[in-house]
């Protein structure tokens, strides 16, 4: 997930990371620590890890519920955004956002 985040990262965007409930607790802790220890993420404060994990069945209603939960978090924090894109850790960009 960090590899994908670093590839798509732009300081003008907001990011919410979610690990499936089936992810080992250590992986969740490692992800949170990686975000907290990254100097850019710490300075810009635009990357967060969802505290609540949900069981996600891909292409099922739980995926939609998790996405809606992330959107609700974003709406509570700010109305200053236009787009929401749901990416999985296996997604990887072919071009940069600026390119």
Instruction: Check the CA dihedral 98-50-73-55 and report its sign.
Output: positive
Q: How far is CA 89 from CA 1, 20, 75, 76, 82, in A?
A: 5, 11, 23, 25, 22
Q: What's the number of CA atoms in the CB half-sphere (13 Å) around residue 42?
A: 7
Q: Does 95 have pLDDT greater than 90?
A: no
pLDDT, one tens digit per residue, over 55-80 is: 888 777 888 888 899 999 999 988 88
Which pLDDT score is estimated for 88? 80
* Residues 25-64 pLDDT 10s: 899 899 999 999 999 999 999 999 988 787 888 777 888 8
Closest CA to 10 of 85, 90, 88, 63: 85
Enter the pTM of the model. 0.83
Handedness of CA 72, 78, 82, 85 (dihedral sign): negative
Domain coordinates in residue numbering, the chain:
2-77
């Amino acid at each position: 997930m960090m590899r994908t985040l670093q590839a798509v990262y732009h300081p003008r965007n907001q990011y919410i990371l979610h690990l499936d409930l089936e992810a080992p607790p250590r992986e969740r802790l490692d992800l949170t620590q990686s975000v907290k220890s990254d100097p850019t993420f710490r300075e810009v404060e635009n990357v967060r890890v969802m505290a609540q994990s949900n069981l996600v069945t891909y292409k099922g209603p739980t995926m939609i519920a998790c996405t809606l939960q992330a959107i609700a978090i974003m709406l509570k924090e700010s109305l200053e955004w236009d787009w929401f894109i749901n990416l999985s850790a296996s997604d990887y960009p072919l071009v940069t956002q600026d390119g």
